[in-house]
Chains A and B, each alone.
Chain A
């Protein structure tokens, strides 16, 4: 199966601006600011809220007024979102509100004073109070994911920048880093080799395995989406891993042609949701996250099969792979596929459950 740009982009409602930009394909992401006359989206990644300078100042009473307003809205939601699409309830929204305050306000000791009425002090913030109103409105009314509101997601021990156009890394995927740490701790050859994270999104898996596993070799992260490439590169730099992790723009294995048959390890959390399920997704996911990162085709397996085919070609003998799937059905279908079609190169397949007990991952080796 060969993927081209058009086959990935055309069926979906990916933002028009990005689409034309992707097709223009003129420059590497970090040069984009030089082309300010091109489409009005900058590929300079957004700085997460918690990293912005605290240059705004607000009276405490105004901040408290905002807080009480925001909390009131969160409480009024009750289980409305839960009933409509299994979205967040009031308690989750209140927790998010607390986290938003932590990211927006410089001095966290303030939060213990929220009960006082006439606390005569100014609050230093990383965002203006008007924008705080807008941000919370977007969270509630538009169901904009909390992670896009604050521009980051806490994942393992990392805080990764995320923004519209980039999949928010999921807690399930954290486990793949543990698998890799485990396998490289027992295998010097894998530890020294080159690893790849395909469809890296925010760069979570690449940074997770590059930083935590003691991998001595390089990690190459690929993504077809230029926004993801820019954000992943930003996150790599934030963790000072640019010498170890290289982010390449392109579809799946295309940017890896120079290392065909040489990869020590391959990890991926590809789009795996069956197309017909996209419309029924929780609003935060379905309305806001990039469809290219979610939609895995009719049965959700298009890219998983492609990854298996690529693993057979690109892994070196003894190489390791770990893929995330939609669940038990996909895991089984994938293992069946590899046993029937790729058994001359791939072996030792195993299905591993996530922390909620869902058969989530397929792992295995190259002969």
Chain B
């Protein structure tokens, strides 16, 4: 039956839910969703990872950027899903409202979970949203700097004063917009390619160093990712 394709069950994996009402509060009332997530090291997305990825309908390997272009359902199909449930008979026997959901994206190993909502279904949606943001942050593509031209999704998150951004790109997309993740991913690809140098990266996207810094600092997760990279290269963090 096809519904088995929707998710992969992992029946034996059960974790007790540790609950901290204080930290949940934080997740719920701030827009930044990552405080409860396991963060992995950046995944350099090469052929090895591609080989492990599910193949799309036409048989091509799914590429890093394409993970984010999948529909929620397609993305979830690449995941192992655990519902963090207490053990026991379940069903009509139980009233415990354990509704946490954990997604493990098999091609990349990225894990996202959500437990703050009262319904399992809504937690699944939140977990997918977080997974998308984490993929954007953690999955890197190699950039050919000699032939570099900023992709559209990156241009969309740049401020209008960027000299490479035409007016046809439309209004600037901010961190609260779901499409920001795609642009953020492309920006991180570029910053990784120039080994963390903000002034170098700024040249490729027609911004001053200050303007790019401000863009990076506008999103906590983006700032953290850039600063982690800079720290690994012995550079000072952006503040």
Pick the contact of B9: A154, A294, A355 (CB < 8 A): A355
Main secondary structure of the interface of A (DSSP, over half): mixed
**What chain B residues lie within 8 Å of A172 (beta carbons)?**
90-91
Q: Bound state CA distance, A64 and B93, in angstroms?
A: 35
Total residues of chain B contacting the partner, CB 8 A: 42
Asked whether A92 and B19 contact (CB < 8 A) given A111-B25, A157-B119, A281-B93, the answer is yes
Whether, in the assembled complex, A78 has its beta carbon less than 8 Å from a beta carbon of chain B, the answer is no
Q: Which 6 A-B pairs have the closest CB atoms?
A: A357-B11, A154-B118, A91-B19, A355-B83, A154-B119, A156-B121
Interface residue ranges of A174-191 to B (CB < 8 Å): 174, 178-179, 182-183, 186
Q: Bound state CA distance, A109 and B29, in angstroms?
A: 8
Chain A: minimal CB distance from B118 (Å): 4
Q: Residue of A at shortest CB range from B82?
A: A355
Known: A109-B29, A157-B121. 19 other contacts (CB 8 A): A99-B118, A154-B119, A155-B121, A156-B122, A170-B91, A182-B1, A182-B6, A272-B92, A273-B92, A285-B93, A353-B11, A355-B9, A355-B83, A355-B85, A356-B83, A357-B10, A357-B12, A358-B11, A360-B90
Q: Bound state CA distance, A222 and B118, in angstroms?
A: 27
Q: Residue of A at shortest CB range from B83?
A: A355
Q: Are B92 and A171 in contact (CB under 8 A)?
A: no
Residue picked from B4, B82, B83, B92, most chain A C-beta under 10 Å: B92
Chain B: minimal CB distance from A346 (Å): 15
Contact with B along A320-337 (1 / 0, CB 8 A): 000011110000000000
**What chain B residues lie within 8 Å of A4 (beta carbons)?**
none
Give 24 pairs: A residue, B residue, CB < 8 Å, sorted on A. Answer: A92-B96, A99-B118, A108-B29, A111-B25, A154-B119, A157-B122, A158-B119, A174-B121, A273-B92, A277-B93, A281-B93, A285-B93, A285-B95, A289-B95, A293-B92, A325-B91, A350-B1, A353-B9, A354-B91, A355-B9, A355-B85, A355-B120, A356-B83, A358-B90
Q: Bound state CA distance, A99 and B11, in angstroms?
A: 29
